[in-house]
Structure 1
């Protein structure tokens, strides 16, 4: 077997998500010549998902104040220093592919979906925030808010396997915590209730589903595997495995299934 084929087999064995993305990129380039240069530039010219994402984020967020090359280096450094970012973004890609009926390929979030791109940018900014490079982290927050309409503070802690669908007008505050396997739609706010400092933002449990337009405010907890109905305003703790709805939100029933963030079922009648 040639050296190239051995390398490809190794990639498939250790990194199936990246392998699938490369296969899809090659198919895209063959099927649509007008996007061939894009997929070569963003995907096929790189040896890892981390390198490809660093390049894509730099394309999207770079400007005259912080050029693309510097942003790319910052992102690559963050991925290298914190391997958990790479684990999280792979889980995020799989989550989007499995939960979003508009996503038909693993490559789609990387190239086209601002929810995934904004979340990945926040993961890089969070690494800078923890390294006390906070001005750079805030710059990335500003740019991802401008470019992706996702205003996620770099101090927020976001788990892996998270899907932000559509992603328009997402706001997540500095002390918010989002657990693994959470799904949320557009126009969601995880905010505070005033101008007090300190721990002031929501804590979202594992596997929670948050509907479009929901506002969850204050240092409260949304229990694991619960649902927050679209348009709800949540001001108090939510028990695990329940559905809340209304303004202000109240418990209206059970969550409807064991994994609401995977089922994406927003129908309260169920």
Structure 2
């Protein structure tokens, strides 16, 4: 009797769904066929597709797509947690962004998702001691996507950056899991300190558009930072802060603000 055992490793419902969405996209808009085939349908796995997408975006006359693709593929082979994070980020964008209707969209079109995946490869290089290559990734990510994440920064999984314009995340910043932020957010330092000088964002935090969090301060789990706020002091867990400088104005309003994306302020007495 022939061996009919199925290799479980080859079964990937997420990737199968993305491919189905890609095929449907080509049926509906044949002019997109070249892009969709190159980015999705020519690849056997999500890591191969991401390697291609990252390298195509970051390639320049200074560094070829072939070299960048080899770097990304090596990163994914060496550290499977990069793909786990990429999947978690993909689900986060799909669940939290009302403009995202298919898993296909972030890979093809959303610069926040693409930039974070490119950063993750740069962070892998940084941890291996390949600092100049990591800086090159940072430079190209900033030039192409308008997002500046230092390769030494530590960013968790399940990250959603909506609109993703003018994001800055400093060298010693830490971002936990399941964090959501909108455009023009800065996680920066103050003064000219050279050691641990950037914010520590706990799990489940929602950071509104234009918010600035400055200095080596902790933002507590499942808290909310209102749009346009300047945060200079520690934020307790499960609270909402707003203002310049920011102060506590109420509770977070729900268990998972980063998932609900609810940004309305509580009634302020």
- Which category describes the TM-score, using the shorter chain as reference length? over 0.9
- For residues 13 and 242 of structure 2, the distance between their equivalents in structure 1, rounded to whole angstroms, comes to 39
Secondary structure of the 2:255 match is coil
- For residues 197 and 248 of structure 1, the distance between their equivalents in structure 2, rounded to whole angstroms, comes to 24
Report what 1:197 is aligned to. 194
- For residues 45 and 159 of structure 2, the distance between their equivalents in structure 1, rounded to whole angstroms, comes to 21
Shift of 1:44: 0.7
- For residues 226 and 233 of structure 1, the distance between their equivalents in structure 2, rounded to whole angstroms, comes to 15
- For residues 263 and 32 of structure 1, the distance between their equivalents in structure 2, rounded to whole angstroms, comes to 32
Shift of 1:10: 6.8
Report what 2:124 is aligned to. 127
Matching residue within 25, 30, 40 for 2:37: 40
- For residues 245 and 19 of structure 1, the distance between their equivalents in structure 2, rounded to whole angstroms, comes to 43
Secondary structure of the 1:216 match is strand
Report what 2:203 is aligned to. 206
- 1:186-222 Cα offsets, whole Å, 9 max, x none, are 0000000011111110000000000000000000000
- For residues 18 and 243 of structure 1, the distance between their equivalents in structure 2, rounded to whole angstroms, comes to 37
- For residues 42 and 52 of structure 1, the distance between their equivalents in structure 2, rounded to whole angstroms, comes to 6
Whether 2:94 is the aligned partner of 1:97: answer yes
Report what 1:177 is aligned to. 174
Report what 1:30 is aligned to. 27
Secondary structure of the 2:254 match is coil
- For residues 171 and 20 of structure 1, the distance between their equivalents in structure 2, rounded to whole angstroms, comes to 33
Whether 2:162 is the aligned partner of 1:162: answer no
- For residues 250 and 13 of structure 2, the distance between their equivalents in structure 1, rounded to whole angstroms, comes to 39
Whether 2:227 is the aligned partner of 1:230: answer yes
Query: Gaps spanning 5+ residues in structure 1: where?
Result: 1-5
Q: Which runs of 4+ in 1 moved over 3 A?
A: none
- For residues 134 and 162 of structure 2, the distance between their equivalents in structure 1, rounded to whole angstroms, comes to 23
Report what 2:3 is aligned to. none
Report what 1:117 is aligned to. 114
Matching residue within 128, 133, 136 for 2:133: 136
Whether 2:143 is the aligned partner of 1:146: answer yes
- For residues 194 and 89 of structure 1, the distance between their equivalents in structure 2, rounded to whole angstroms, comes to 34
- For residues 23 and 236 of structure 1, the distance between their equivalents in structure 2, rounded to whole angstroms, comes to 47
- For residues 199 and 205 of structure 2, the distance between their equivalents in structure 1, rounded to whole angstroms, comes to 13
- For residues 194 and 94 of structure 1, the distance between their equivalents in structure 2, rounded to whole angstroms, comes to 37
- 1:75-95 Cα offsets, whole Å, 9 max, x none, are 111111110000000000000
Secondary structure of the 1:58 match is helix
Question: Which deviates further from its counterpart, 244-253 or 30-39?
Answer: 30-39
Using the size of structure 2 for normalisation, the TM-score is 0.95
Report what 1:77 is aligned to. 74
Query: Gaps spanning 5+ residues in structure 2: where?
Result: 1-5
- For residues 41 and 155 of structure 2, the distance between their equivalents in structure 1, rounded to whole angstroms, comes to 29
- 1:162-199 Cα offsets, whole Å, 9 max, x none, are 00000000000011000000000000000000111111
